[in-house]
Amino acid sequence: MRTDTGRVVHLADYRPTDFVLERVDLTFELDPEDTKIESRLIFHRREGADPQAPLVLDGDELTLSGLLFDQIEMDADRYTATASSLTIRDLPAAEPFEVTVTTIINPTANTKLMGLFRSNGIYCTQCEAEGFRRITYFPDRPDVLAVYTVNIIADKEANPLLLSNGNFLGGAGYGDGKHFAAWFDPHPKPSYLFALVAGDLGLVEDTFTTVSGREVALKIYVEHGKEPRAAYAMDALKRSMKWDEEVFGREYDLDIFMVVAVSDFNMGAMENKGLNIFNDKYVLADPETATDQDYAYIEAIIAHEYFHNWTGNRITCRDWFQLCLKEGLTVFRDHEFSADQRSRAVKRIAEVRHLRSEQFPEDSGPLAHPVRPTKYREINNFYTTTVYEKGSEVTRMIATLLGRDGFKKGMDLYFDRHDGDAATVEDFVKCFEDANSVDLAQFSLWYNQAGTPQVTVSSAYDEKASTFTLSLEQVVAATPGQPTKEPMVIPLSFSLLSDDGTVLTPSSVEGGKVAGDVLQLVERSQTFVFQGIASRPVLSLNRGFSAPITLHYPQSKDDLAHIARHDSDLFSRWQAVTDLALPALTAAARNAASGAAVESDDALADVVVAIAADESLEPAFRAQVLALSSEADIARELGSNNDPDAIHAGRQTVLASIAAHGEQTFKTLFDTLNAAGSAYSPDAAGAGRRALRNSALLYLTFVEKSPARAAEAFAKADNMTDLSQALSILAHQFPDAEETRAALASFETRFADNALVMDKWFQIQATIPGDMALDRVNALLANPHFKGENPNRVRSLIGSFAFANPTGFNRKDGAAYDLLASQVLDIDGRNPQLAARLLTAMRSWRLLEPMRADKARNALMRIESAETLSVDVRDIIERMLQ
């Protein structure tokens, strides 16, 4: 590998290409080790461009094996080819010309899984962001849109299937045991949306009739024998297509839509035009092998990739700085889809949990960057929760500020105005401004300013004047490269609850803009006065998590309990319980650290158990309440100088005290929600019941202090959700019990031939708390089911250990940091993207207590001083140590 420090790319340096690409004709002669690609490109010089400018094509680890200019071999003195570029000089000033580039690549040796590679004998591609340049020299940037014709030639027996983007033109024998297929994609697209798949796969077929009556062939390709496990993905696809027509007015635009599931993939899935390629984890499911969470992910990711057809493909990004234009918007769309298919409130709670646990730490640490960054060294490192999830929250805030109709008007204008464009964030925002006659200049800071706003709130009620006064102050902390911040537009949904839980409506509000139940905090400090409030209200603020901020509002326990009981917004009820629980959890952690006894908080236990028992509430919501804040949430609340052991011990004590308080409730829930016997259905209601019952099981083990009940649940489970939950409770609560050993062994034997299920087995063991986790992980690294080349295996063992086992990973002696460092260095040699992502597990290392932080720094410095590092890892490590 090269040690390349990587060039920094700046948004401010953007300029259009000198040449316009008109057409692309690709011919692939596939061979496992010697694949030949002939690429015919028709260009003309852009009007107004420098007539002397050379044509510079991107490459990555390429060698040129042929170059024609208008069908004739090009003179050697007219071009320069290196592994990373092909520069061609003396080109026509105006008239079109044709360049034919030939390259030969080795897909089998491509362990980076970018460009053309092999996964389990299947040829497949991954071109976002800059993978196409690993196939052929090309203007590999998203603002170069062209129409592609693709010819694929391959051995017929090994590759009965030859797929690419667009519509199938035809195929025939090619002699010598080979055959060929031709595909044409009429929609101009950037190279990152190119895809090719060849091999021998099983097929699941269906059709979808669009709103205008066109029939679209739907095809999902999976490994032979796995076809029945693609049924849910197909169902989710059809629901997504319908939903996008109904909610966003978007109809599919080709005759065929294909999904291919492969087992080696760096990310979740990829939205290539008409030919989505998926990590098989997000396609394959049946009750025996997939959990409810797996089903939910499949639904969301199938939808996400499908929705990209309009937000990403029809309207793409001008440059990679605009990544959130397609990703933030498409995540928002898939969130809305899942909310409509499932329970909106429960979905929102899960989204916010995810945002807080993943994006907030990113936004407050060394890797913080704006939703729309202004510079990057390695674009692969910017597929982050900030770009995706915070990007989605920013879109959601536009919807909140403009209301449903205003948002729709803006979206419709965006689709009309920019269809076929490579657009920018400014283009997007302008559509909402123009469609609604509003000014979103200050709002746009959300795209440009990194960091989670901290909003401090105080309130006072004046009985005589019947006024309620609310004072708010916003602060955004400094982030790398952004020492000072401007005040943002923060839309805060609110409700004033009376004593009996009814909503108090003010006669008027002074001090700022309030539209309906949303107030806008736009100044650094701002005071709102609500008139005509007849009795002291309890304020519920940031309802539905209307803004992605951290709220500091010291509310009394009584007020929080009041919101938890009465708010009509279920999200706010969950948030109120969380706000009640967090002080108890942080106090317990502090006490555990100092050796003091942890006092039980009866008021908290009362509320939690009452919600658990409340039959009027949906089970999934009750399960979310019972889940309490995670150890990472508690660490974040505590700030710096964190001791993960104390946080874990404290949290266990709080769980135990709630368990003791609600023993009877948990027994009843466990018995009455007994799913066994009833037919499994992956729908949200069934999933909610299983979630609640498994929460009850966890609490009961705290009371019973015995693995017996979980072992019995494991033995009786008739679906993967219950089975893996029981195994996880056994392993995490009773790691040394014979029942646990037996359950792990039986699970291994039963699912030995299913790698995706074995990932759960790895993950459960990698997240067993405590010092012994490292030894376990080391032993599992040598397990024959573990394959270091497969990203899913790596993520389930090493990733879960580093990201999701705070006590095990943060062992006092720093040995786990060393393990991660060694793994990152090893993986970096074959798959830099995966290595860089794993490394981000240590992004919050400065918040650890000094002894651990010191050990963490040493491990990071060992990575930094390695002789060879990819640009991906170098970029992350240098930012983390800055």
Residue 374 three-state SS: coil
Subset of residues 169 to 228 that bind Zn ion, contact rule: CB under 5 A: none
Contact range with Zn ion by CB under 5 A, out of 321-329, 365-373, 663-671, 683-691? 321-329
Decide: is 261 part of the binding site for ligand 0A1 (CB under 6 A). Answer: no
- Nearest distance from C-beta of residue 604 to ligand 0A1, angstroms: 39
* Nearer CB in complex with ligand 0A1: 125/807: 125
From residue 579, give the alpha-carbon distance in Å to each of 432, 550, 607: 35, 12, 12
> Exactly one of 305, 362, 378, 631 is catalytic; which is it?
305
Alpha carbon distance 769, 565 (integer Å): 34
Q: Residue 270 or residue 825: which is nearer to ligand 0A1 going by CB?
A: 270
Under the binding rule (CB under 6 A), the answer on residue 136 touching ligand 0A1 is no
Q: Which of 504, 579, 592, 595 is nearest to 545 (CA)?
A: 579
- 422 makes contact with ligand 0A1 (CB under 6 A): no
For residue 270, state whether it binds ligand 0A1 (rule: CB under 6 A).
yes
Would you say the C-alpha torsion 430, 432, 433, 436 has a positive or negative sign? positive
38, 130, 305, 569: residue in contact with ligand 0A1 (rule CB under 6 A): 305
| Contact flags string 155-174 toward ligand 0A1, x per CB under 6 A | --------------------
**Scanning the structure block, which residue is given the tokens 């044709």?**
98
The pair of three-digit structure tokens given for residue 260, joined into one six-digit string: 């291919």
Q: Which of 103, 191, 266, 728 binds ligand 0A1 (CB under 6 A)?
A: 266
Q: Which stretch binds ligand 0A1 (CB under 6 A): 47-55, 260-268, 412-420, 510-518?
A: 260-268
Candidates 166-174, 265-273, 370-378, 554-562; binding stretch for ligand 0A1 (CB under 6 A): 265-273
CB nearer ligand 0A1, residue 631 or residue 872: 872
| Residue 572, binding choice from ligand 0A1, Zn ion, none, Cβ under 5 to 8 Å by partner class | none
Least distance in angstroms from the C-beta of 255 to Zn ion: 24
Closer residue to ligand 0A1 (CB): 620 or 794:
794
Q: Which is nearer to ligand 0A1, 126 or 384 (CB)?
A: 126
Task: Find how far residue 853's CA is from the centre of its chain.
Answer: 28
Apex 654 CA angle, 665 and 772, nearest 5: 115
Other Cβ atoms within 10 Å of 205 Cβ, number = 11
3-state secondary structure of 633: helix
Among 97, 168, 184, 383, binds ligand 0A1 (CB under 6 A): 383
Question: Which listed option, Zn ion, ligand 0A1, none, makes contact with residue 415 (CB within 5 to 8 Å by class)?
Answer: none
CB of 641 to ligand 0A1, least distance (A): 36
DSSP 3-state percent helix, strand, coil across the chain (nearest 5): 45, 20, 35
Q: Which residue has the tokens 């029809």?
A: 314
- Using CB under 6 A as the binding rule, whether residue 385 contacts ligand 0A1 is answered as no
Q: Give me the numbers of helices (H) and strands (E) for the chain, helices first please.
A: 29, 33
- For tokens 């060394």, name the residue: 366
Q: Considering the complex, what minimum distance in angstroms separates the CB of residue 260 from ligand 0A1?
A: 13
Picked from ligand 0A1, Zn ion, none, the partner binding residue 269 (CB below 5 to 8 A depending on kind) is ligand 0A1
Residue of 769, 679, 757 lying closest to 729 (CA atoms): 769
Q: Which two tokens stand for residue 631?
A: 């150890």
- E-strand stretches of 536-659: 538-541, 550-552
358 binds ligand 0A1 (CB under 6 A): no
Question: Contact, 691 vs 620, CB < 8 A?
Answer: yes
Closer CB to Zn ion, 128 or 875, in the complex: 128
Give me the least distance between CB of 465 and ligand 0A1, in Å please. Answer: 53
Task: Based on the shown chain and the rule CB under 6 A, indicate whether residue 267 belongs to the binding site for ligand 0A1.
Answer: yes
Calculate the CA 764 to chain-centre distance. Answer: 21
In angstroms, rounded to a whole number, what is the distance separating the alpha carbons of residues 704 and 344? Answer: 35
By beta-carbon proximity to ligand 0A1, the closer residue of 304 and 795 is 304
| DSSP label of 290 | -
CA-nearest of 642, 652, 635 to 701 is 652
Which residues touch 704 (CB under 8 Å, ≥6 apart)? Answer: none
User: What is the nearest approach in angstroms of Zn ion to the Cβ of residue 804?
Assistant: 23
For residue 416, how far is the Cα from the chain centroid?
A: 28
Task: Assess 302 for contact with ligand 0A1 (CB under 6 A).
Answer: no
Output 267 or 876, the one with its CB closest to ligand 0A1: 267
Among candidate residues 534, 388, 405, the one with its CA nearest the CA of residue 461: 534
Shortest separation between residue 623's beta carbon and ligand 0A1, angstroms: 28
Closest of 179, 34, 162, 49 to residue 104, by C-alpha: 34
Of 7-15, 52-60, 329-337, 846-854, which part binds Zn ion (CB under 5 A)? 329-337
Residue of 244, 264, 292, 327 interacting with ligand 0A1 (CB under 6 A): 327
If one asks whether residue 844 binds ligand 0A1 (CB under 6 A), the answer comes out as no
Output the smallest distance, CB 300 to Zn ion, in A.
11
275 binds ligand 0A1 (CB under 6 A): no
Report, in Å, the least distance between residue 327 CB and ligand 0A1: 5
Determine the Cα–Cα distance for residues 758 and 755; give it in Å rounded to an integer.
Answer: 5
Select the binding partner of residue 722 from Zn ion, ligand 0A1, none (C-beta < 5 to 8 A, by kind): none
Residue 358 interface partner, choices ligand 0A1, Zn ion, none, CB cut-off 5-8 Å depending on type: none
User: Which residues, 6 or more positions from 845, have their beta carbon under 8 angstroms from its beta carbon?
Assistant: 853, 856, 857, 860, 880
Is-cis flag, bond preceding 129, omega within 30?
yes
* Planar angle of CA 659, 660, 665, nearest 5 degrees: 65
Between the alpha carbon of residue 108 and those of residues 35, 269, 679, 811, 872, the distances in Å are 10, 21, 44, 39, 22
Q: Which does 267 bind (CB under 5 to 8 A by kind): Zn ion, ligand 0A1, none?
A: ligand 0A1
Q: Residue 275 carries which DSSP code?
A: E
To the query of whether residue 305 is one of the catalytic residues in this protein, the response is yes
Give residue number: closest CB to ligand 0A1.
267
Q: Which is nearer to Zn ion, 244 or 722 (CB)?
A: 244
Residues 796 and 762: beta-carbon distance below 8 Å: yes
Q: How far is the CB of 668 from Zn ion (least distance, A)?
A: 43
How many residues of this chain bind ligand 0A1 (CB under 6 A)?
12
Please give the structure tokens belonging to residue 878. Answer: 């240098």
Please say whether the beta carbons of 842 and 809 come within 8 A: no
* Shortest distance in whole angstroms from residue 411 CB to ligand 0A1: 19
Q: Binding residues for Zn ion, how many (CB under 5 A)?
A: 2
Using alpha carbons, select from 102, 83, 85 the residue that is nearest to residue 39. Answer: 102
- Give, for 104, the enclosing helix (H) or strand (E): strand 97-105
**128 is a site residue for ligand 0A1 (CB under 6 A):** yes
Part in contact with Zn ion (CB under 5 A); list of ranges 239-247, 324-332, 712-720, 795-803: 324-332
344 Cβ neighbours under 8 A, 6+ residues apart: none
Task: Provide, rounded to whole angstroms, the least separation between the CB of residue 271 and Zn ion.
Answer: 6
324 binds ligand 0A1 (CB under 6 A): no
Please identify, among the stretches 262-270, 333-341, 342-350, 777-785, the one whose residues bind ligand 0A1 according to the rule CB under 6 A: 262-270
Considering only residues 237, 269, 371, 877, which one is a binding residue for ligand 0A1 as defined by CB under 6 A?
269
Stretch that binds ligand 0A1, among 269-277, 400-408, 513-521, 793-801 (CB under 6 A): 269-277
* Residues recognised as catalytic: 305
- Interface residues toward Zn ion, by CB under 5 A: 327, 330
- Interface residues toward ligand 0A1, by CB under 6 A: 126, 128, 266-271, 304-305, 327, 383
